[in-house]
Amino acid sequence: MSRDLRSLCRDGNFVPLENLHLTLAFLGECSGECVSAALAAVSNVAFEPFNVQVESVGRFKRDGGDVWWAGVRECAPLVDLQRDLTNALVAKGFALEERRFKPHITLARKVPAGPRAWPVEPFGETVHRIDLMESKHVGGLLVYAVVCEMPLS
């Protein structure tokens, strides 16, 4: 999908393959103490591995360029995981976004208007773990690093 988008438009900040991910909760900037609280919250969320389906491509329109994404089909295990994780984080004092969870994988940011969404052949992947990730800008690029991997029970 990312390759298809790249072939349709040359401009934009494309997410490197190793940075593709599905965000369950966005914490914003965190200190060491904040990271410890997040780890405690994540460790209290238990569930079995489950399958997710990537089934569409779309965009969020933004001034200065659109955000293109791969849409993930909502399923009970994913929705339950996101809800349970959100509740655990709120219980630890995190103030999270209140907008409805829309499962997606960001493919590119700041893409100028132009391409239209295209049909994709749905494919699945098994979720075996959740990661606490840190994002930071390095040399003008957004880079993600795993702070902690939490395997599913």
Q: Judge whether 139 lies within some domain.
A: no
Q: Judge whether 88 lies within some domain.
A: yes
Q: Which region holds residue 114: left if phi is over 0, alpha if psi is between -120 and 50, else beta? A: left
CA 11 to chain centre: 22
Q: Judge whether 148 lies within some domain.
A: no
Q: What is the CATH number of the domain that holds 96?
A: 3.90.1140.10
Q: Judge whether 153 lies within some domain.
A: no
pLDDT of residue 27: 84
Q: Is the pLDDT of residue 2 over 70?
A: no
Q: Judge whether 73 lies within some domain.
A: yes
Name the strand (E) or helix (H) holding 132. strand 129-138
d(CA 75, CA 53) in angstroms, rounded, equals: 9
Q: Judge whether 86 lies within some domain.
A: yes
pTM of the entire structure? 0.83
Active site amino acids:
21, 104
Q: Judge whether 121 lies within some domain.
A: yes
pLDDT digits (tens, 9 = 90+) for 59-114: 888 888 889 899 999 999 999 999 999 999 999 998 888 889 999 998 888 888 76
Task: Name the amino acid, one letter, at 104.
Answer: H
Work out how many domains the chain is built from and give that number.
Answer: 1
pLDDT digits (tens, 9 = 90+) for 100-117: 999 999 888 888 876 677
Q: Which residues contact 119 (CB under 8 A, 6 or more apart)?
A: none
pLDDT greater at residue 13 or residue 142: 13
Q: Judge whether 18 lies within some domain.
A: yes
Contact 41, 91 (CB under 8 A): yes
Tell me the residue range of the domain where 76 lies.
2-26+47-127
